[in-house]
Amino acid sequence: MRFWKQLPYGWKVVFAFVCFFSTTLGFAYFKARDTSPGIPIEALATTPTEANSWKGHPKVVYFWATWCTVCKAYAPILEANLKFLPKGTLFLSVLESEDSEETKELLRNQWEENKTPLYTADYRMLKEWRVTAYPTTLFLNGEGKVVFSDSGIVSPIGFWIRTFLLRFF
């Protein structure tokens, strides 16, 4: 304990950050080990050509809903996070399939406003991918195996660490 008291404050802060991010990374990794869907993520693709182009690439799959207030609050952070995506990593935005006017409007305008395509998932798909809360972000390696699974807001540092580590899994 004497050693800890003698450490400069800056080192204590660095140690706290390393412990925090290591813990959240561990939780995300072990939560992902429980996710092995029977439906491949390529089932979301609108064409077979699009599905084939996804194969072999690491993917970040973001499940959200129009009624989710956390998803709306997370939108600017998510935009910042997308800047950390390495080349060759695909980002898939997956909207809960609901029959609301807001959803229909989003889907009508997806190609005009969004830089990334917007896909919809029905209840069966969400159940297979173990999406139990919104937003849920899944990090898949090149073989399509879920490596990290997070519910809620993912910090930019945490997002970068997860996308960086996808290369090694």
Residue closest to 166 by CA, chosen among 61, 77, 41, 14: 61
User: What DSSP letter does each residue of 4-38 carry, written as one string?
Assistant: HHHS-HHHHHHHHHHHHHHHHHHHHHHHHTT---S
According to DSSP H, which parts of 55-152 are helical?
69-82, 101-113, 123-128
d(CA 148, CA 162): 7
The pLDDT score that the predictor gives to residue 66 is 85
The pLDDT score that the predictor gives to residue 97 is 77
Structure tokens at 18: 């390393």
The pLDDT score that the predictor gives to residue 111 is 46
Total-model pTM: 0.84
Do residues 42 and 51 make contact, with C-beta atoms less than 8 angstroms apart? yes
Domains of the chain in sequence order: 2-168 (3.40.30.10)
The pLDDT score that the predictor gives to residue 38 is 85
d(CA 138, CA 132): 12
Residues linked to residue 139 through DSSP beta bridges, in sequence order = 60, 148
Low-confidence ranges of the chain (pLDDT < 50): 111
The pLDDT score that the predictor gives to residue 12 is 85
Sign of CA dihedral 137, 25, 51, 87: positive
The pLDDT score that the predictor gives to residue 103 is 60
